[in-house]
Chain A
Amino acid sequence: MLSRLSFSGYFALLMLVLTLLFIFGVTMLPSYDPYGQNLAAGLLPPGGSSFDGRYYLLGTDQLGRDMLSRLALAGQVSFAIGAGAVMVSLVIGVTLGLIAGYFRGPVEMVIMGLADLQLSIPRILLLIVMAAILGPSPWMLAVILGITSWVAYGRVARGMALSLREREFVLAARAQGSTATWNIRKHLLPNVLPQMMIVGSYEFGQIVVMEASLSYLGLGVQPPLPSWGMMVSEGQTYLELAPYLAVLPSIALFVLVASLQFLSQAFTSENDSVDLPERIKG
């Protein structure tokens, strides 16, 4: 059983490493400038060559920019925004969720009320307001996207905390005189983290797409800086003419998200005995 799990874990790890190598490696190799336009060589299919004899492995976009180097650069941007946002939302969500689930009572009511309140406002609206106020730098985007997506972590963390706080190892620690901070840090946090990583890998994909929607509205990453989400939405226009424009970044996004997900799942099931709440089980 263990060996099988490790296999999918290793495979996911391999895919993740390859994706990251691609993202960060291609721009280091001697390759075309991702911003360099070549209007005469627009919409070349993968493997096509331009009139001046330049070879494009993954083709070019409508402005004749090299897809290979753009895909890598966009990957860097998307990965940074996704990872940053997941980090921000994970920290906020886990902290609030564990506090709510451990202390119960009024604290829980306030925190979960806040979560419901936030869910009742369309996320895109919140994003627009915050992006308009804070400006569209990639780092600000990560923070904004992070702040608006903590609820998923918060709810799962609270649910698990509710059951963990009644577990006998937490009761035993309380009987030994441990403080609430101790129990949350030493017992609750390590037991929810693997599940949080799974939630994180789901959220990662969502965030990248959400960033694309913001780009649509002109509030996301500002051109000419590309991101995967933005490339997908730009490519949609040319879906019949040059499907690879939208397909290539979609595949890249899929591989990254899937490998993250498998990796966190393999990590969880290998040394885990705390059950996932039913509703987030795959």
Chain B
Amino acid sequence: MNKPAASDQKVLLSVRNLTIQVPVGNGTCNLVDDVSFDIMESEVFALVGESGSGKSLTMMAVLGLLPLPLRMTQGTIVLRGQELTELDFNGMRQVRGKKMAIVFQDPMTALNPVIRVGKQVDEAIRLHNPGLSAKQIRARGIELFRQVGIPNPEQRYDQFPNEFSGGMRQRVVIAIAMANEPDLLIADEPTTALDVTIQAQVMDVLREVRERTGAAMILISHDLGLVAEHADRIGVLYSGSLVETGTTEQVFGAPQHPYTAGLIASLPRVDQKVDRLYSIPGFVPAPDKRPKGCAFSTRCEMSRDRDACTHARPTLRSMPEGRHSACHYAEETESWAKAQAAARVVLDEVDDSALRQAAEPILSVQDLQKEFDVSRGFLGRRAKMKALRGISFDILKGRTLGLVGESGCGKSTLARVLLRLMEASGGQVMLNGKPLLTMQGSALRSARRNLQVVFQDPYSSLDPRMTVHDIIAEPMRIHDCYDAARVNELLAHVGLGPEALLRRPGQFSGGQRQRIAIARALALQPDVLILDEAVSALDVSIQAQVINLLRDLQAEFGLTYVFISHDLSVVRHISDDVAVMYLGRIIEYGSVREVFENPEHPYTQALLSAIPRHHVPEAERGERILLAGDLPNPLSPPSGCAFRSRCRHAVASCAQSEPELIERTRPHHQSACLRAEELSNPAKLAS
């Protein structure tokens, strides 16, 4: 396949027919299959795909770092005219770090915890500049620290990684990657492990350092929103093959492959609520079990039954405007995607917050407190960490409360306190009109039947040694009401066949495991389900399936959800009410439409502005609010308003007392900001 580059730009990296194999049994299996793409000088090229699509392997191959037993069996990788696959180890070493550098996903493991961060930067500089003196290297390192926005670089240079927050560590990793001003920066999920507001900071740093040196970047990500905002061109990988390439606007505006179209359609949007999300059926096939013909054919709703799709493997072919697509019927994608979008009903949200006041809540939380004893320092001086402070909310039967916040805001602690997995330090929780926190013994046991939980990690939430049948039956066995027929029924409710019953969790994908966890949570017919980041670990297409399932189950059984998430788009889609948490407190609370459309608290405003809006043209996206700094240390929060230290609207009075969570401008919409009235009205603020 030959792919002409846009004529006015020079090709920096050219990958052709890259194939990566792994031995399976007696044969081999292609994990990456005939992938070709070009990267131009100074551009950001995004490789997008779900887990198992081969996006990280492709980059490992480019760096020459494929782990055994994987082998690159075919293909060429040319960087500025130099063929990389023919280089020996020493030749490759000259390229790595100097011409190409990588930023890994997890800043917590990318740095060596026992070496000062400065030394780790020095090392990167020294490798390719053996002539520099120690003093010069240090000066260069500190300069790099300054460039990536680390405050007090001289002092921080001699600190250890554990003295840095996640966002700051990622800056150090970027400094190391940029140490020798590489031509190509490979960023492998650079912000996936970070919070939304920190994510925005890090992407900003990446953009700045690239602009300074003119480096091109390969952005590997599963996050379509992030890609939409930061990439110039996109390559979409599915099951080891490139299925579509094009500029960001082209791909998001009018996708030419049904997989891309499906992925985009399955993203919830923050500006509207639809009756159900589009979800790509099924799941990504294992590399050795790809269907004949088009690998996507079994999941494709556009052309699954046509002969060409099930028999002939489509190759990436040129489309108008320099685009490429690997679909036999690429030309039909646009109209299909439009029809899909039209089929979705945008829900008309009525403001029913008045109802909230009138009816009897099924779960009512009042002034909930949780403190942890933390010993600090050598002498074990005791300190109290206030993880939850004065949490109050009500949920009506059959409704969903979204709990939003960054890591460390206390949302998971709240879930555990509600589940009585941790004891509260104060406050009251009424479940069905009965006080939950003071219950003991058999009363507690029976109350627990009404309050169940689905956790985030589908790999840790199922006992690997139990069969699916035993997992779903466990709650019934605990309560002596085991019924084999009920297990089958539950499995059917979550969309799995009875053949799953005797298998163990190891044989299921993340989405299927999460369905099993949901079936287990429903076993005792609970009234309230706490969903603690229940869809956060899932791939986009699977996430939409599980969200739809949750909504169906809610409609069918009248379930009440407490939906804890850091993903505001998902919360917008699934919730009726929303509470935004910051440092252990709710700082804004109201109906989801109220809070999302008229945010009063500057923190909520910042969170909302940080959501990538792939569906809005770049010009109309509005101002991006970048929050400065990290979450304050919860052991010594700022006086007065806890958000004051990061708030761009903070005034002197913010430091005096903590603002209460009360209605400030509109009925049934509470916020904890002194300046809520001005801030919710931009015109007033300007004057």
Contacts and interface: CB of A to CB of B under 8 A. Distances in A.
Given A168-B455, A186-B474, A177 B461 contact: no
Nearest to B524: A176
A191 B505 CA distance: 14
A168 B466 CA distance: 14
Interface in B413-461: 416, 419-421, 444-446, 448-449, 451-453, 455-457, 459-461
A271 B444 CA distance: 36
B25 interface: yes
Nearest to B420: A175
Contact of A172 (B25, B420, B444, B517): B517
B352 to A, nearest CB: 30
Interface in A252-282: 271-274
Q: Say which size band chain B's interface belongs to.
A: 35 or more
Contact of B465 (A3, A176, A191): A191
A172 B455 contact: yes
A271 B504 CA distance: 9
B448 A172 contact: no
A178 interface: yes
Given A271-B506, A273-B506, A175 B465 contact: no
A98 B445 CA distance: 23
- Chain A CB within 10 A, most for which of B416, B419, B463, B517: B463
Interface string B451-488: 11101110111111110000100110011000000000
Interface residues of A, number: 21
B276 interface: no
A177 B421 contact: no
Contact of B460 (A168, A177, A182, A271): A168
B455 A177 contact: no
Contact of A273 (B25, B457, B464, B479): B464
B520 interface: yes
B583 interface: no
A172 B453 contact: yes
A7 interface: no
B586 interface: no
Interface in A179-214: 182, 186-187, 190-191
Contacts of A191: 463-465
A167 B458 CA distance: 11
A168 B452 contact: no
B521 to A, nearest CB: 7
A163 B632 CA distance: 28
Given A171-B421, A171-B453, A171-B455, A176 B463 contact: no
A190 B465 contact: yes
Interface-central residue, A167, A176, A182, by most chain B CB under 10 Å: A176
A146 to B, nearest CB: 26
B464 A177 contact: no
A177 B462 contact: no
Contacts of B466: 186, 190
Given A175-B448, A178-B478, A169 B462 contact: yes
A215 to B, nearest CB: 40
A123 interface: no
Contacts of B457: 168
Contacts of B455: 168, 171-172
Residue from B25, B416, B462, B465 whose CB has the most chain A CB atoms within 10 Å: B465
Contacts of A178: 474, 478
A168 B465 contact: no
A147 to B, nearest CB: 29
Nearest to B478: A178
A177 B478 contact: yes
Contacts of A168: 455-457, 460-461
A44 B628 CA distance: 86
Contacts of B453: 171-172, 175
Chain A interface, >50% SS class: helix
Interface in A141-174: 167-169, 171-174
Contacts of B452: 175-176
A198 to B, nearest CB: 16
Contacts of A271: 464-465, 504, 506
Given A168-B457, A171-B421, A271-B506, A177 B449 contact: yes
A168 to B, nearest CB: 4
Contact of B478 (A169, A173, A272): A173
Contacts of A186: 463, 466, 474
Contacts of B416: 171
Contacts of B461: 167-169, 172
Contacts of A190: 463, 465-466
Interface in B486-510: 504-506
A168 B421 CA distance: 11
Contacts of B419: 171, 174-175
Contacts of B479: 176-177
B475 A176 contact: yes
A175 B463 contact: no
A168 B452 CA distance: 13
A174 B416 CA distance: 11
B445 A175 contact: no
Interface string B24-53: 010000000000000000000000000000
A272 B448 contact: no
B460 A174 contact: no
A178 B453 CA distance: 14
Interface in A33-77: none
A270 to B, nearest CB: 10
Nearest to B517: A172
Contact of B464 (A3, A174, A176, A272): A272
B514 to A, nearest CB: 11
A176 B506 contact: no
A274 B474 CA distance: 20
A274 B449 contact: no
B506 A175 contact: no
Nearest to A274: B464
A182 B464 CA distance: 16
Nearest to A174: B421
Contacts of A173: 474-475, 478
A168 B464 CA distance: 12
Given A174-B421, A190-B465, A167 B460 contact: yes
Interface string A106-149: 00000000000000000000000000000000000000000000
A137 B24 CA distance: 53
A177 B517 contact: no
Interface string A73-105: 000000000000000000000000000000000
Given A169-B462, A174-B419, A176-B449, 9 more contacts: A167-B460, A171-B453, A172-B517, A173-B474, A173-B475, A177-B448, A177-B478, A190-B463, A274-B464
6 contacts: A3-B25, A169-B462, A176-B475, A190-B463, A271-B465, A273-B464
Cβ-closest 5 pairs across A and B: A168-B461, A168-B455, A177-B445, A273-B464, A177-B448
Interface of B: 25, 416, 419-421, 444-446, 448-449, 451-453, 455-457, 459-466, 471, 474-475, 478-479, 504-506, 517, 520-521, 524
